[in-house]
């Protein structure tokens, strides 16, 4: 292997080295509700559900309006206002598709009910990347049972990553609810924080290394050959 090929191989190896650490889950219980984050990437995303029947209002205290889940408000701690709660049934899959790739730094979900019968949070998060927006990959599963009842009963789950960023280059994010407590649970907010994506440090490093290799080859008369690159 000539020097140019060696430099290119090193650059690719460094760029593909995983920067992620691990997801941290924090759980919270309250009888007085929560203050949700003031920003939500899902507000500007296109939302869809696999079947509208999975968010049918229950007990006269809920709405089927999915925008309620991204309105930046938890609402009343109890069930005084039906427009503030979406009863998500077992089997629901809610997908949010971004207009451009996003970097995600935290995912927060909120539930609020009149008692402990529909307070648990059970769901799986999947995502797709900009290069293949229809191919969803599993990210994380939440199973939070506070094991205590209240009147009302409110729960919150917050996911973050010790590296600072959970995901980069995200095209869409999906919340799946295969089996929720007692058939349906009163969700208040699905919140995703982050920003429009920017090149990862590895991508910047790779670009710089490629430029160095090209300059070396030009000055020494070596031929630069394209090397196969496999995504991590």
Question: Mind listing the pLDDT tens digit for each residue in 69-96?
Answer: 999 999 999 999 999 999 999 999 999 9
Contacts of 199 (CB under 8 A, 6+ apart): none
What is the sign of the dihedral through the CA atoms of 14, 16, 22 and 25? Answer: positive
The yes-or-no verdict on residue 208 having pLDDT over 80 is no
Average pLDDT over residues 52-59: 97
Do residues 26 and 6 both lie within one domain? no
Do residues 66 and 172 both lie within one domain? yes
**pLDDT bracket for residue 60 (50, 70, 90):** very high
Do residues 99 and 121 both lie within one domain? yes
Do residues 115 and 146 both lie within one domain? yes
What's residue 213's pLDDT? 54
What's residue 148's pLDDT? 80
Of the candidates 65, 39, 41, 43, the one whose C-alpha atom is nearest the C-alpha of residue 52 is 65
| Percent of the chain residues topping a pLDDT of 90 | 73
| Percent of the chain residues topping a pLDDT of 70 | 76
CB 142 within 8 A of CB 123: yes
CA 60, distance to chain mean position in Å, is 30
Do residues 9 and 67 both lie within one domain? no
Do residues 99 and 120 both lie within one domain? yes
Q: Is 38 helix (H, G, I), strand (E, B) or coil?
A: coil
Answer with the residue of higher pLDDT: 31 or 218: 31
Average pLDDT over residues 144-153: 90
The yes-or-no verdict on residue 7 having pLDDT over 80 is no
Answer with the residue of higher pLDDT: 61 or 201: 61
What's residue 21's pLDDT? 60
Per-range mean pLDDT, top range of 19-23, 52-56, 196-200:
52-56
The pair of structure tokens assigned to 29 is: 């219980």
The yes-or-no verdict on residue 195 having pLDDT over 50 is yes
Do residues 86 and 146 both lie within one domain? yes
Q: What is the 3-state secondary structure (H, E, C) of 102-120?
A: EEEEEEEEEEEECCHHHCC
**pLDDT bracket for residue 55 (50, 70, 90):** very high
Do residues 81 and 144 both lie within one domain? yes
The yes-or-no verdict on residue 100 having pLDDT over 80 is yes
Do residues 210 and 190 both lie within one domain? no
Average pLDDT over residues 130-141: 97
What's residue 232's pLDDT? 39
The yes-or-no verdict on residue 35 having pLDDT over 90 is yes
Do residues 136 and 228 both lie within one domain? no
Do residues 76 and 157 both lie within one domain? yes
CATH of the domain at 172: 2.60.120.260
Structural domain span for residue 134: 20-198
What's residue 138's pLDDT? 98
Do residues 174 and 194 both lie within one domain? yes
What's residue 1's pLDDT? 56
């Amino acid at each position: 292997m000539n020097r140019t090929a060696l430099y290119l191989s090193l650059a690719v190896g460094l760029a593909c080295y995983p920067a992620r650490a691990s997801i941290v889950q924090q759980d919270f219980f309250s009888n007085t509700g929560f203050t949700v984050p003031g920003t939500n990437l899902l507000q500007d995303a296109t939302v869809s559900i696999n079947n509208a029947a999975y968010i049918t209002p229950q007990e006269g205290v809920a709405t089927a309006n999915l925008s309620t889940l991204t309105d930046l408000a938890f609402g009343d701690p109890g069930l005084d206002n039906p427009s503030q709660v979406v009863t998500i049934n077992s089997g629901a899959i809610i997908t949010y598709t971004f207009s451009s790739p996003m970097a995600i730094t935290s995912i927060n979900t909120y539930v609020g009910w009149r008692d402990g019968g529909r307070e648990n949070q059970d769901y799986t998060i999947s995502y797709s990347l900009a290069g293949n927006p229809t191919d969803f990959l599993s990210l994380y599963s939440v199973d939070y049972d506070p094991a205590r009842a209240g009147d009302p009963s409110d729960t919150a789950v917050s996911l973050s990553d010790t590296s600072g960023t959970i995901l980069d280059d995200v095209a869409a994010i999906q919340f799946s609810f295969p089996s929720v407590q007692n058939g349906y649970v009163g969700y208040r907010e699905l919140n995703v924080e982050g920003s429009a994506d920017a090149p990862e440090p590895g991508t910047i490093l790779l670009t710089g290394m490629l430029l160095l290799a090209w300059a070396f080859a030009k000055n020494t008369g070596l031929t630069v050959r394209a090397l196969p690159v496999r995504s991590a």
